Amino acid sequence: MPSPPTRRTALKNILAGTAAAGAAGALGAFAPAENALDPLALKNNINHSVCRWCYNDLTLDQLCASAKSIGIKGIDLVGPKDWPTLKKYGLDSPMCNGAEINLTDGFNDPQFHATLQKSYAEMIPKVAAAGYKNLICFSGSRRGKDDATGWTNCVQGLTPLLALAAKHNVVLVMELLNSKIDHKDYQCDHTAWGVALAKKLGSEHFKLLFDIYHMQIDEGDVIRNLTDNHAYIAHYHTGGVPGRHEIDETQELYYPAIMRAIVATGFKGYVAQEFIPKQPDKIASLRKAVQLCDV
């Protein structure tokens, strides 16, 4: 059986506009509506979302219909061409993408600043005009840079964009990714590094995406870290450890406790499911994950 797609390759396909798997696979993974959760059964302490790239064998319409029936309120990591489909289903775009170059060429390297600043300056007004708020960004790979150099370069690259983000009430959200397994050499790989950058920027229009899967791998102590640093966190992603599959009893994290900790911080944003389903009925796995996180 082939290895599951990585987020790196999936995002590359999304950015290149090459999504799409065969109809047979998509239909096989599409759960019938009658098996869906009653949205009214959810507690609404968590705003639920789901990452598009994990379900690329479904059409976006299929994913939106299933998400809506479960009670999910948004679809993560889509750009302007897909926003009309989300709006058709009354779904939010809680974490927009499309301005980044990729995960490795980011704000920590001045050679990419001109390209990134142009792209983000064009995307920020589009995000606002569509009624959305969060736009993802990345530190990029270290390429030998120490922490201080990375912070200095990110401040230099991001600062010119923050006034525009403030004008449009948009937040640039840098994702925390592990550098141990999935994204070797990525610089924003610990909560402390991201928080230090946020403090240096000193703007409510720069926050962090706390990816629970990634941070369990690189630092652990998930509940303490998100609790102590919640003021700098705009968004959360899930994923089972190890393997980034279902967040059920097959993996080492206990998500109900993590979700209760998130709720206890007063968080009002979104938690997005970002695991690669191993089970044949992918929507059933998604439904179960939402139930586990609905504390």
- pLDDT tens digits for 2-39? 334 455 444 444 343 333 333 333 334 444 444 445 66
Topology given in CATH for the domain delimited by 44-293: TIM Barrel (3.20.20)
Instruction: Kindly give the parts of the chain with pLDDT less than 50.
Output: 1-5, 8-36
Please tell me the distance from the alpha carbon of residue 232 to that of residue 254, in angstroms, as a whole number: 23
Q: One-letter amino acid identity for 65?
A: A
pLDDT at 17: 38
CA angle 77, 80, 84 (to 5 degrees): 100
pLDDT at 1: 38
Task: Give Cβ neighbours of residue 170 (< 8 Å, ≥ 6 apart).
Answer: 124, 127, 128, 132, 133, 134, 135, 164, 205
Report the predicted TM-score, pTM, of the whole model to 2 decimal places. 0.88
R_g of the chain computed on alpha carbons: 18
Residue 33's Cβ-count burial label (10 Å; 0-12, 13-18, 19+) is exposed
pLDDT at 37: 52
Please tell me the distance from the alpha carbon of residue 284 to that of residue 37, in angstroms, as a whole number: 10
Number of H helices, E strands in the chain: 11, 7
Please tell me the distance from the alpha carbon of residue 78 to that of residue 96, in angstroms, as a whole number: 6
Q: What tokens were used for 269?
A: 């944003």
pLDDT at 28: 41
pLDDT at 21: 35
How far does Cα 194 stand from its chain's mean position? 15
Name the residue ranges covered by the structural domains of the chain.
44-293
